[in-house]
Amino acid sequence: MVKPKIGVVGIPGKWSTEVLADAVAKASGYRLVIDMAEVTAELDSGRLLYRGEDLTQLDALLVKKISAQYSPHTLDRLEMLRQLELAGVRVFSQVERIIRLIDRLSCTMSLYNARIPMPETRITEDPEAAAKAVEAFQAAVFKPLYSTKARGMTLIEHQSGPEQVANEIAEFRKQNPVMYIQKKRELPGKDLGMVFLAGEYLGAYARVGKQGVWNTTILSGGHYEGYQASDELIELASRAQAVFGLDFTTVDVAETDQGPVVFEVSAFGGFRGAHEGMGIDVPSRYVAHVMEALSA
């Protein structure tokens, strides 16, 4: 039996990319890590080339990481992968489903339309409306539409005074003309990553924040721990991930004094959190799912 040729789109040298490529190699005997910065789409020939290799000849492609940081350019890279789907290459997860998660506003609107509880949110280009949001929320988190791991997020507090608030809004607007603003919820020092494979719940891990830091991300000094989620949280996260139908995803959930809320659904995260917080080898499970799907 001929084993499938499966490529991995990711960041060469990064842990999550390499462990996924290792799992693919172990299962199939083929290993190829693809850096999208070196990919060329030939629309006239129908080929998608990477270092001289035509990716349309692959049987499948796993998208682990499309770029080091999110931006509108990330969407361009994903659009290029549609050429593979047109050629009959199975892409995990499907490109259109990933695209809905790259832009924070697109993700939010999809969750909002599905009645998934989220923090109070305002979107505006008007600095005066942004200042009114800060006043209403008292403490507001300004988030770039394209970002990962809290990069570029800014906490603006009403108690700083009108002049300081205006200055901080102006500074944020330099890079983010469309302002995505959420009320800062009081968290119990952690939030959760809830892991799903093909819609099946695998478990949860906690991101525990560093003392004195307002967010819980690992980049800000946080760390992973295991977590036993309640049935209520599992049901909420399951509903959130079902909106997008990805093959692998994590749902960022927080427990607050007003009940649980969903921050976002991720197309790319979760490997290290599952490894360090849950002790689960997600790459091997993911590849087993892909191999089964290809043989069906």
Omega of the bond prior to 266 within 30 degrees of 0, cis? no
* pTM of the complete model: 0.90
What does the pLDDT read at residue 270?
Answer: 78
User: Both tokens of residue 90?
Assistant: 């199975």
Buried b (16+ CB within 10 A) or exposed e, 195-230: bbbbeebbbbbbbbbeeeeebbbbeeebebeebebe
Distance CA 233, CA 65 (A): 27
**Percent with pLDDT over 90 in the chain:** 79
Domains of the chain: 6-92 (3.40.50.20), 103-117+186-280 (3.30.470.20), 121-183 (3.30.1490)
By CB atoms closer than 10 A (0-12, 13-18, 19+), residue 15 is: exposed
pLDDT digits (tens, 9 = 90+) for 221-278: 678 888 999 999 999 999 999 999 999 999 999 998 889 999 999 988 779 889 999 9
Q: Which of 249, 261, 257, 270 is nearest to 205 (CA)?
A: 270
User: Both tokens of residue 55?
Assistant: 């990716």
Helix (H, G, I), strand (E, B) or coil at 158: helix
